[in-house]
Amino acid sequence: MDYKIVEHEKFQVVGVKKVFSFDAGQNLVEIPKFWGEVWSDGTMERLEELKNGAVSRYMGICNVSKEQAPKKEMDYWIAVDYDGETPVGTEKLEVPALQWAVFQSVGAMPDAIQQTWQKIYAEWLPTSGYEHAAGPEIEVYGPCDNRAANYECEVWIPVQKK
């Protein structure tokens, strides 16, 4: 798998979040529905107006707390990089400065990114010399048609050397 290791300073995102179960792959069905809701209810237009940080694209952020892990639950955010006070109707998440393994995903959503996630955990992580570090996992989405066969997005995994 092609990847790059990058350092990124801390940043803040604002957006909307929901709790999802990752037991038996429920998140693979429910998260795409969440994106559909956010596009159809006007939330994405509001988030678009807020983008003002270094990461100038939409993000899907998976964040599992210590309390959620045993229950196989996670917070999933649809968010944008935003520097400022938390706007009404959104929540804020501070993303710490971390080292990231960044993977390119190419293809129609959601299948392409789900396949990328599977390869990261089944193939890359066990043999890479890196381990997952504490921190959220981030999907970074571009502005083009996400149903196109050549659609490109990224998956960021926080890592540290083994």
Compute mean pLDDT per 10 residues along the chain, 162 residues long, and list them.
94 97 92 95 94 90 95 97 95 97 96 95 97 97 88 97 96
CATH of the domain at 73: 3.20.80.10
Q: What is the pLDDT of residue 53?
A: 84
Overall number of domains in the chain = 1
Orientation of helix 26-40 relative to helix 43-50, angle to 10°: 80
- The backbone torsions φ and ψ at residue 22, rounded to the nearest 5 degrees and listed phi first, read -105, 15
| pTM score | 0.93
Question: What is the model's pLDDT at position 33?
Answer: 96
Closest CA to 13 of 73, 85, 95, 113: 95
| Domain enclosing residue 87, as ranges | 3-161
Backbone angles phi, psi at 29, to 5 degrees: -95, -45
Residues contacting residue 23 through CB under 8 Å, at least 6 positions apart: 72
- pLDDT attached to residue 106: 95
How much is the pLDDT for 1?
Answer: 83
Cite the beta strand spans of the chain per DSSP E.
Answer: 3-8, 11-21, 58-63, 73-81, 91-95, 98-106, 130-132, 137-141, 152-161
